[in-house]
Amino acid sequence: MAMTKAERVMNQFLRKPVDYLPSQITLSDRTRDKEILRGMGLPEDADLNEVLENHIQWTFVTDDWPLFFSNFDEIIEDGTKLGYMWMDREARTVFDSWGMGVLRGEDGFFTNYGVLRGDKEMDKIAGNYLPDHLTKLFGMPLEQAVEAYEAPDPLREHNTMWIERDKDGVAGDLCAIPSGYFGIYERAYALMGFQNFMTEIAGNPRITYTLMEKITDYRMGLAKVKADLGYKIAHHGDDLAMEHCGFFSEKMFEEQLLPHFKRLFGEYRRLGMEVFMHSCGQMADYLPQLIDAGLTGWEPVQPCNDLAKVKREYGKDLVFMGGVDEKAMGQMTPDQVREMTAETIKILGKGGGYIIAPSQEVMSDVPPENIAAMLSAAIEWREKAM
């Protein structure tokens, strides 16, 4: 009997045999699906997930819809009816229940507003939509505003309706994973503004610690819901690094961020879930502490890290997803993409513990023929690389 895609993914974490390595190719802009299918010479009504042989179905709480669907009017309108989000077309912004704004029309997502940023012009626009417990923060000194800030209620009606719907995967085959992108510190810096956040974590860390603690409380509130629904993988997203180094010194990481990760990851592990973290950049220096905190998987393993070293030193502890250099794919020929994909699979796929994937979502500069080339290499090498 053929192995399901969900079994193939889970067996990477459980270190059990699989018939071949699973794979996942996610696009940054899903409004491009028909364009990609046409470029691959396929009918527009084909299922792109099936065409790409994807193994994971990301699912989302309603609070997160603006991050991923700001360009999908129907979804945002549904969220507005539920009282979770509000769209201002003139400002090209979707405001969410956190007090954050997401800019429409972007490739991926870009946050252009946070209720704790002190942006008076955007506050005027946001004030037309945000609830009173957020608008009362306008004009407050930052420390006072953070103390008064209230994160959304994770158990609010309708927030978990998609993860309830998708708990058994799609047709029982794909591995459904609730998204944890914009996890703790990313959400905090979006609310405060990146420069403000970095200034305060260095100069007045009690402010940033308090905000991250409130965001962690929200994540903790969802943890048991996910476990009770039967999810086996808990996802978390926080970009900890740039291309050449981490954002934080070892001391700052240990004192300001790690306690929140330990609390959340520890709860996931207590509930019997794998902990699968998204973090871009060269963040391998943080891996030992994150593994001690409960981390069991890392994506998207960007090639600014030494992939062979990462596999050698942490392959026994972590499942990897990613590694195929998406940044280069837009400038390569299809043959070059095939060769590069094959080499990555040989490094990270040896002995299993790997989900074949690009090093980030595939951006709009990557032509359809290069996506097809990556897929063909994945199919060719997914069994023999193990």
d(CA 159, CA 69) in angstroms, rounded, equals: 15
The percentage of residues in the chain with a pLDDT greater than 70, rounded to a whole number, is 99
Nearest in space to 339 (alpha carbons), one of 355, 328, 352 = 328
Kindly state the average pLDDT of the residues 293-321. 98
Burial of residue 126 (number of CB atoms within 10 Å: 0-12, 13-18, 19+):
buried
Is 90 exceeded by the pLDDT of residue 313?
Answer: yes
d(CA 281, CA 242) in angstroms, rounded, equals: 5
Question: What is the structure's pLDDT at 173?
Answer: 87
Dihedral angle sign, alpha carbons of residues 200, 205, 206, 212? positive
Are 137 and 192 contacting, i.e. CB atoms less than 8 angstroms apart?
Answer: no
Is 90 exceeded by the pLDDT of residue 176?
Answer: yes
Poorest-pLDDT segment among 39-53, 129-143, 183-197, 370-384: 39-53
Q: 67 falls in which pLDDT band (50, 70, 90)? A: very high
pTM assigned to the model? 0.95
Question: What is the structure's pLDDT at 1?
Answer: 58
Question: What is the structure's pLDDT at 53?
Answer: 93
Are 180 and 219 contacting, i.e. CB atoms less than 8 angstroms apart?
Answer: yes
Is 80 exceeded by the pLDDT of residue 341?
Answer: yes
Question: What is the structure's pLDDT at 172?
Answer: 64
Is 80 exceeded by the pLDDT of residue 171?
Answer: no
Is 80 exceeded by the pLDDT of residue 237?
Answer: yes
Is 70 exceeded by the pLDDT of residue 360?
Answer: yes
- Which residues share a beta bridge with 275? 234
Q: Which amino acid is present at 343?
A: E
- Which residues share a beta bridge with 356? 23, 322
Kindly state the average pLDDT of the residues 32-60. 91
d(CA 181, CA 71) in angstroms, rounded, equals: 18
Condensed to tens digits (0 to 9), the pLDDT of residues 127-165 reads 999 999 999 999 999 999 999 999 999 999 999 999 999
Q: 33 falls in which pLDDT band (50, 70, 90)? A: confident
